[in-house]
């Protein structure tokens, strides 16, 4: 490999959230953090070089997006997803969750219903409730190997609860699905039929082991009802630098969201987020291709290591988050967490926080050097 993903970097004392003491188990020594979704891997060298060069002069004044930023974003979407976007469709914002919160406020009223498919990235439920909207949940179906959407339940809930917005995760964190074209078509058809607008959170869309389709790219009708949320932060490990884009074809929807974003005065972008995003699009693709091979081999390693044990990893189609079915261990969620953290010294996300269907599962972030993964797996296997 041309790029180095094997070196272990010391992230202690860097204000990293991932490396802070565990709130409930602060005394566990040498805990291996595999919970929050950032990588223990250095970003692409072209991005580091661009950031270093931008800080050389020590001047960090107000900044704005230039033509190059939009052109690079448009070219990336065309090349990697076959998605044609017009420049005016792009609405940059601070982060994906910021964009989702703004979209919810812009397109719905207090107490309106917003639907999510659980188990899902847990801030989805919070952002709906925190903005005083009504949370409606349709649970994904799980056949012991793979997750799928319960389309009948989805449409029934939309009708019964008068749902206005679908907050859709594609690829889906934490269950690792990259939705097929046919599944996406059914979701958009249901939403169009019932006047539901889709926020399609596609932050994980570059991190896939099969083809990803942007929801909005399926048809003109789909584009008209979809707000796509994209970012380079997950792909290139830039979460602490921040930045995201909403891509919105409908002028009406776009204007409402722009107005909402203006009203909270978040101002222009961080200078470093513009530099990093442009460098990522310009120089990051070769690094990304190698990263994907590395992550896939990490996922394969975990799956092989847990073969014939009571831990059943779901084979991921995308994301660097492995969803582990631990129900055969027969532990309640409290004891499951205690087992992994206190006994094994491996800090993962407890599945129950992802909502319905999450009990008995754990989410493991495998975006780390292989040696860390080996250590974590061996500690877990020792205690199984
Ligand atoms: C599905 C999903 N959306 C949004 C985020 C957070 O994005 P941001 O930091 O840009 O708000 C994450 C982070 O893990 C995520 O998994």
CA–CA gap between residue 139 and residue 357 (Å, rounded): 7
Q: pLDDT (tens digit, 9 = 90+) per residue, 160-201?
A: 999 999 999 999 999 999 999 999 999 999 999 999 999 999
The per-residue pLDDT for 380 is: 98
Strand, coil or helix: what is 229? Answer: strand
37 within ligand 1 shell (Cβ under 6 A) = yes
CA–CA gap between residue 149 and residue 147 (Å, rounded): 7
**Cβ neighbours, 10 Å, residue 337:** 21
Q: Which residue has the tokens 């996406």?
A: 184
**If you take atom 14 of ligand 1, which residue's CA is the nearest one?**
37
CA of 319, closest atom in ligand 1: 16
CA–CA gap between residue 79 and residue 21 (Å, rounded): 42
**Architecture of the domain defined by 52-283:** 3-Layer(aba) Sandwich (3.40)
Can you give the length of the chain in residues?
Answer: 384
The per-residue pLDDT for 200 is: 99
Average pLDDT for 88-106? 98
Average pLDDT for 53-74? 97
The per-residue pLDDT for 98 is: 98
Task: Give the helix, strand, coil percentages of the chain, each rounded to 5.
Answer: 40, 15, 40
Is residue 174 reached through a cis peptide bond, with omega within 30 degrees of 0 on the bond before it? yes
Q: pLDDT (tens digit, 9 = 90+) per residue, 45-61?
A: 999 999 999 999 999 99
- C-alpha of residue 37 to centroid of ligand 1, in Å: 8
The per-residue pLDDT for 219 is: 97
- C-alpha of residue 204 to centroid of ligand 1, in Å: 8
169 within ligand 1 shell (Cβ under 6 A) = yes
96 within ligand 1 shell (Cβ under 6 A) = yes
- Domain boundaries of the chain, sorted by first residue: 32-43+285-383, 52-283
The per-residue pLDDT for 186 is: 98
Cα torsion through 29, 295, 243, 212, rounded to 10: -140
pLDDT band at 77 (very low <50, low <70, confident <90, very high): very high
**What is the rounded average pLDDT for all residues in the chain?**
97
Q: pLDDT (tens digit, 9 = 90+) per residue, 249-259?
A: 999 999 999 99
The CATH class, in words, for 32-43+285-383 is alpha beta
Q: pLDDT (tens digit, 9 = 90+) per residue, 127-170?
A: 999 999 999 999 999 999 999 999 999 999 999 999 999 999 99
The per-residue pLDDT for 173 is: 98
The per-residue pLDDT for 207 is: 98
CA of 95, closest atom in ligand 1: 10
């Amino acid at each position: 490999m041309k790029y180095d993903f094997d070196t272990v970097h010391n992230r202690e004392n860097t204000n990293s959230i991932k490396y802070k003491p565990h709130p409930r188990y602060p005394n566990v020594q040498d805990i291996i953090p595999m919970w929050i979704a950032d990588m223990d891997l250095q970003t692409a060298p072209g991005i580091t070089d661009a950031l270093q060069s931008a800080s050389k002069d020590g001047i960090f004044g107000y900044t704005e997006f230039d033509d190059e930023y939009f052109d690079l974003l448009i070219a990336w979407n065309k090349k990697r997803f076959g998605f044609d976007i017009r420049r005016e469709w792009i609405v940059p914002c601070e982060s994906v969750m910021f964009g989702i919160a703004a979209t919810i406020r812009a397109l719905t009223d207090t107490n309106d219903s917003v639907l999510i498919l659980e188990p899902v990235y847990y801030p989805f439920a919070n952002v709906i409730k925190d903005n005083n909207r009504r949370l409606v949940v349709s649970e994904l179906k799980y056949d012991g190997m793979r997750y799928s959407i319960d389309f009948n339940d989805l449409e029934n809930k939309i009708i019964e609860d008068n749902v206005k917005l679908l907050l859709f995760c594609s690829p889906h964190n934490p269950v690792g699905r990259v939705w097929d074209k046919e599944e996406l078509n059914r979701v958009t058809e249901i939403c169009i039929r019932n006047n539901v607008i889709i926020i399609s959170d596609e932050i994980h869309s570059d991190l896939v082991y099969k083809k990803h389709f942007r929801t909005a790219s399926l048809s003109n009708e789909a584009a008209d009802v979809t707000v796509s949320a994209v970012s380079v932060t997950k792909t290139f490990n830039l979460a602490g630098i921040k930045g995201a884009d909403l891509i919105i074809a409908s002028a009406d929807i776009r204007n409402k969201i722009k107005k909402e974003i203006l009203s909270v005065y978040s101002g222009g972008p961080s200078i470093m987020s513009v530099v990093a995003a442009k460098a990522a699009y310009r120089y990051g693709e070769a690094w990304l291709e190698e990263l994907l091979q590395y992550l896939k081999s990490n996922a394969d390693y975990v799956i092989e290591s847990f073969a014939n044990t009571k831990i059943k990893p779901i084979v991921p189609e995308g994301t660097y988050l492995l969803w582990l079915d631990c129900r055969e261990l027969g532990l309640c969620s409290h004891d499951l967490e205690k087992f992994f953290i206190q006994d094994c010294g491996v800090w993962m996300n407890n599945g129950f926080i992802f909502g319905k269907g999450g009990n008995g599962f754990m989410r493991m972030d495998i975006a780390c050097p292989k040696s860390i993964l080996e250590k974590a797996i061996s500690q877990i296997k020792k205690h199984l």
